[in-house]
Structure 1
Amino acid sequence: MRHIRSSEPGTMLDRVVPFTLGVMVFLECLILLASLIWL
C-alpha cells in the first residue's frame, strides 16, 4: 500500500468528492423511495 502523506490535499479531495456524491445520490434514492411508498 502506498503511504499517504497529509501534505497532499489532492488525495483527500479525490476521496471526499466521490464519497459526498455517492451519499447525495443515495439520499435522493431514499427520498424517491419514501415518496413512492407514502403516495
Structure 2
Amino acid sequence: MEMIYMEARLFKKMMDRFDAFVNKANAVCGKSNMKGIES
C-alpha cells in the first residue's frame, strides 16, 4: 500500500510539472501569435 501511495504522489508531481510546462509553452506561443497578428 505504501508503494502505491508513493507512486501516486510521484505521478501527481510529474503531472503538475507537465501542466506548468504546457501553460508556459501556451503563454509563449500566445505572445508570439499576438506579435504576429499586430505586425
Structure 2 length-normalised TM = 0.75
Alignment coverage as a number of residue pairs: 34
Q: Bigger relative contact order, structure 1 or 2, given CA contacts below 8 A and separation 6+?
A: 1
What is the rounded CA distance, in whole Å, between the counterparts of 1:11 and 1:18 in structure 2? 11
User: Any gaps of 5 or more consecutive residues in structure 2?
Assistant: none
Structure 1 length-normalised TM = 0.75
* Large movers: runs of 4+ above 3 Å: none
What is the rounded CA distance, in whole Å, between the counterparts of 2:13 and 2:30 in structure 1? 27
Give the percent of matched residue pairs that are identical in Structure 1 and Structure 2: 6
Give the structure 1 partner of residue 27 of structure 2. Answer: 28
Question: What is the RMSD computed on CA atoms of the aligned residues?
Answer: 1.1
What is the 5 A alignment of 1:1-39? 7-8=4-5, 9-39=8-38
Aligned letter for 1:16?
A: M
